[in-house]
Amino acid sequence: MNKEIQKIEEREYIIPLRKNCKKVPRYKKANKAIRTIKEFLVRHMKVRDRDLNKIRIDKYLNEFVWARGIRKPPVKVKVRAFKEGEIVRVELSELPEKLKFKKLRLERKEQKLGETSKKKKEAEEVKKPGEAEEEKKKEAEEKKSAVVETGKKEAKETAKKTKHQTKLQKQPKHQKRMALQK
Protein backbone atom coordinates (compact mmCIF):
# COMPACT_ATOMS: atom_id res chain seq x y z
CA MET A 1 0.00 0.00 0.00
CA ASN A 2 2.90 2.36 0.76
CA LYS A 3 4.40 1.79 -2.69
CA GLU A 4 1.14 2.79 -4.35
CA ILE A 5 1.08 6.04 -2.39
CA GLN A 6 4.74 6.81 -3.15
CA LYS A 7 4.47 6.23 -6.91
CA ILE A 8 3.40 9.67 -7.98
CA GLU A 9 3.95 9.34 -11.70
CA GLU A 10 4.19 6.44 -14.09
CA ARG A 11 4.97 7.17 -17.72
CA GLU A 12 6.03 5.34 -20.85
CA TYR A 13 8.56 6.78 -23.25
CA ILE A 14 10.28 5.73 -26.46
CA ILE A 15 13.77 7.17 -26.10
CA PRO A 16 15.75 7.81 -29.31
CA LEU A 17 19.42 6.91 -28.87
CA ARG A 18 20.82 7.05 -32.41
CA LYS A 19 21.34 10.81 -32.63
CA ASN A 20 23.44 11.10 -29.46
CA CYS A 21 25.33 7.83 -29.92
CA LYS A 22 26.53 8.92 -33.36
CA LYS A 23 28.47 11.78 -31.80
CA VAL A 24 30.88 9.60 -29.82
CA PRO A 25 33.55 7.10 -30.92
CA ARG A 26 32.58 3.45 -31.39
CA TYR A 27 34.12 2.25 -28.14
CA LYS A 28 31.96 4.62 -26.04
CA LYS A 29 28.53 4.17 -27.63
CA ALA A 30 26.82 1.97 -25.01
CA ASN A 31 28.02 4.27 -22.22
CA LYS A 32 26.60 7.24 -24.11
CA ALA A 33 23.31 5.37 -24.64
CA ILE A 34 22.90 4.89 -20.88
CA ARG A 35 23.77 8.52 -20.25
CA THR A 36 21.29 9.58 -22.95
CA ILE A 37 18.52 7.60 -21.25
CA LYS A 38 19.27 9.32 -17.97
CA GLU A 39 19.42 12.78 -19.54
CA PHE A 40 16.12 12.21 -21.36
CA LEU A 41 14.37 11.15 -18.16
CA VAL A 42 15.85 14.01 -16.14
CA ARG A 43 14.34 16.40 -18.67
CA HIS A 44 10.94 14.73 -19.04
CA MET A 45 10.32 13.58 -15.45
CA LYS A 46 11.23 17.04 -14.08
CA VAL A 47 14.06 15.99 -11.78
CA ARG A 48 15.35 18.75 -9.56
CA ASP A 49 18.78 20.23 -10.38
CA ARG A 50 19.04 17.90 -13.41
CA ASP A 51 20.88 15.39 -11.20
CA LEU A 52 21.59 12.14 -13.11
CA ASN A 53 22.28 10.29 -9.84
CA LYS A 54 18.57 10.45 -8.99
CA ILE A 55 17.74 8.11 -11.87
CA ARG A 56 17.91 4.37 -11.21
CA ILE A 57 18.13 2.10 -14.24
CA ASP A 58 16.79 -1.45 -13.96
CA LYS A 59 19.39 -4.17 -14.52
CA TYR A 60 17.38 -5.67 -17.39
CA LEU A 61 17.32 -2.31 -19.19
CA ASN A 62 21.07 -2.07 -18.72
CA GLU A 63 21.53 -5.59 -20.11
CA PHE A 64 19.29 -4.74 -23.07
CA VAL A 65 21.45 -1.74 -23.95
CA TRP A 66 24.70 -3.68 -23.53
CA ALA A 67 23.46 -6.94 -25.14
CA ARG A 68 25.09 -6.26 -28.53
CA GLY A 69 28.28 -4.92 -27.02
CA ILE A 70 29.76 -1.50 -26.44
CA ARG A 71 29.85 -0.60 -30.15
CA LYS A 72 26.23 -1.34 -31.15
CA PRO A 73 23.61 -0.16 -28.67
CA PRO A 74 19.96 -0.21 -29.78
CA VAL A 75 18.64 2.70 -31.83
CA LYS A 76 15.68 3.36 -29.54
CA VAL A 77 14.31 1.96 -26.30
CA LYS A 78 10.76 1.70 -24.97
CA VAL A 79 10.85 2.45 -21.28
CA ARG A 80 8.51 2.72 -18.28
CA ALA A 81 9.48 5.34 -15.66
CA PHE A 82 8.20 5.63 -12.08
CA LYS A 83 8.79 8.73 -9.99
CA GLU A 84 9.02 7.97 -6.26
CA GLY A 85 9.66 11.21 -4.42
CA GLU A 86 12.79 12.62 -6.05
CA ILE A 87 14.07 9.29 -7.36
CA VAL A 88 13.04 8.03 -10.81
CA ARG A 89 13.11 4.27 -11.43
CA VAL A 90 13.31 3.09 -15.03
CA GLU A 91 12.64 -0.35 -16.52
CA LEU A 92 12.08 -1.87 -19.94
CA SER A 93 8.42 -1.88 -20.87
CA GLU A 94 8.69 -5.02 -23.03
CA LEU A 95 11.36 -7.58 -22.16
CA PRO A 96 12.86 -9.59 -25.03
CA GLU A 97 12.67 -13.41 -24.82
CA LYS A 98 16.22 -13.88 -23.51
CA LEU A 99 15.71 -11.43 -20.66
CA LYS A 100 12.28 -12.89 -19.81
CA PHE A 101 13.87 -16.31 -19.49
CA LYS A 102 16.69 -14.92 -17.34
CA LYS A 103 14.26 -13.06 -15.06
CA LEU A 104 12.11 -16.17 -14.55
CA ARG A 105 15.18 -18.24 -13.75
CA LEU A 106 16.34 -15.75 -11.11
CA GLU A 107 12.86 -15.61 -9.57
CA ARG A 108 12.79 -19.42 -9.30
CA LYS A 109 16.20 -19.42 -7.61
CA GLU A 110 15.00 -16.84 -5.09
CA GLN A 111 11.90 -18.91 -4.35
CA LYS A 112 13.99 -22.02 -3.76
CA LEU A 113 16.33 -20.11 -1.47
CA GLY A 114 13.35 -18.79 0.47
CA GLU A 115 11.90 -22.28 0.84
CA THR A 116 15.18 -23.78 2.02
CA SER A 117 15.71 -21.01 4.56
CA LYS A 118 12.18 -21.57 5.91
CA LYS A 119 12.88 -25.30 6.25
CA LYS A 120 16.13 -24.62 8.12
CA LYS A 121 14.39 -22.24 10.51
CA GLU A 122 11.65 -24.80 11.15
CA ALA A 123 14.24 -27.51 11.76
CA GLU A 124 16.10 -25.31 14.25
CA GLU A 125 12.86 -24.52 16.10
CA VAL A 126 11.98 -28.21 16.35
CA LYS A 127 15.35 -29.14 17.92
CA LYS A 128 15.65 -29.12 21.67
CA PRO A 129 17.77 -26.39 23.27
CA GLY A 130 20.28 -28.95 24.60
CA GLU A 131 20.91 -30.34 21.12
CA ALA A 132 21.67 -26.89 19.73
CA GLU A 133 24.33 -26.33 22.42
CA GLU A 134 25.93 -29.72 21.65
CA GLU A 135 26.08 -28.87 17.95
CA LYS A 136 27.74 -25.54 18.72
CA LYS A 137 30.37 -27.30 20.85
CA LYS A 138 31.06 -29.81 18.05
CA GLU A 139 31.44 -27.00 15.52
CA ALA A 140 33.87 -25.17 17.82
CA GLU A 141 35.97 -28.34 18.23
CA GLU A 142 36.02 -28.88 14.47
CA LYS A 143 37.18 -25.29 13.91
CA LYS A 144 40.00 -25.73 16.45
CA SER A 145 41.16 -28.95 14.82
CA ALA A 146 41.07 -27.32 11.37
CA VAL A 147 43.24 -24.44 12.64
CA VAL A 148 45.77 -26.89 14.11
CA GLU A 149 45.92 -28.86 10.85
CA THR A 150 46.51 -25.74 8.75
CA GLY A 151 49.28 -24.68 11.13
CA LYS A 152 50.99 -28.06 10.68
CA LYS A 153 50.70 -27.84 6.88
CA GLU A 154 52.23 -24.37 6.86
CA ALA A 155 55.11 -25.56 9.04
CA LYS A 156 55.81 -28.44 6.62
CA GLU A 157 55.76 -26.08 3.63
CA THR A 158 58.23 -23.66 5.25
CA ALA A 159 60.51 -26.57 6.20
CA LYS A 160 60.51 -27.79 2.57
CA LYS A 161 61.33 -24.33 1.29
CA THR A 162 64.26 -23.88 3.68
CA LYS A 163 65.55 -27.39 2.93
CA HIS A 164 65.70 -26.79 -0.82
CA GLN A 165 67.37 -23.40 -0.62
CA THR A 166 71.09 -23.75 -1.38
CA LYS A 167 72.66 -20.68 0.18
CA LEU A 168 71.49 -17.43 1.54
CA GLN A 169 71.70 -14.65 -0.97
CA LYS A 170 74.85 -12.60 -0.62
CA GLN A 171 74.59 -8.89 -0.11
CA PRO A 172 76.61 -6.79 -2.57
CA LYS A 173 79.85 -5.21 -1.38
CA HIS A 174 78.86 -1.78 -2.64
CA GLN A 175 75.51 -0.06 -2.60
CA LYS A 176 73.86 0.78 -5.90
CA ARG A 177 74.06 4.40 -6.98
CA MET A 178 70.76 6.20 -6.66
CA ALA A 179 69.62 9.40 -8.36
CA LEU A 180 70.06 12.52 -6.31
CA GLN A 181 66.91 13.78 -4.63
CA LYS A 182 66.03 17.39 -5.24
Q: Is there a single domain that holds both residue 20 and residue 62?
A: yes
Q: Is there a single domain that holds both residue 90 and residue 100?
A: no
The whole model's pTM is what?
A: 0.59
Whether residue 110 contacts residue 31, with contact meaning beta carbons closer than 8 Å, is answered with: no
**Domain assignment present for 78:** yes
Which range of residues forms the domain containing residue 122?
95-144
**Domain assignment present for 105:** yes
- The pLDDT profile of the chain, 182 residues, written as one tens digit per residue, is 455 555 578 999 999 999 999 999 999 999 999 999 999 999 999 888 888 999 999 999 999 999 999 999 999 999 999 998 889 999 999 888 888 898 899 999 999 988 888 888 777 776 666 677 788 888 889 988 998 999 999 998 888 888 777 666 666 777 777 777 76
Q: Which residue among 67, 94, 121 closes a domain? A: 94
Residue 38: predicted pLDDT: 95
Q: Is there a single domain that holds both residue 7 and residue 89?
A: yes
Q: What angle do CA 56, 8, 84 make, to 5 degrees?
A: 30
Q: Is there a single domain that holds both residue 101 and residue 37?
A: no
**Domain assignment present for 163:** no
Q: How many other C-beta atoms lie within 10 A of the C-beta of residue 142?
A: 10
Whether residue 9 contacts residue 82, with contact meaning beta carbons closer than 8 Å, is answered with: yes
**Domain assignment present for 158:** no
Single-letter amino acid code for the residue at 166: T
Q: Is there a single domain that holds both residue 113 and residue 88?
A: no
Domain count, the chain: 2
CATH code at position 14: 3.10.440.10
Q: How many other C-beta atoms lie within 10 A of the C-beta of residue 98?
A: 11
Q: Is there a single domain that holds both residue 55 and residue 25?
A: yes
Q: Is there a single domain that holds both residue 90 and residue 117?
A: no
**Domain assignment present for 61:** yes
**Domain assignment present for 116:** yes
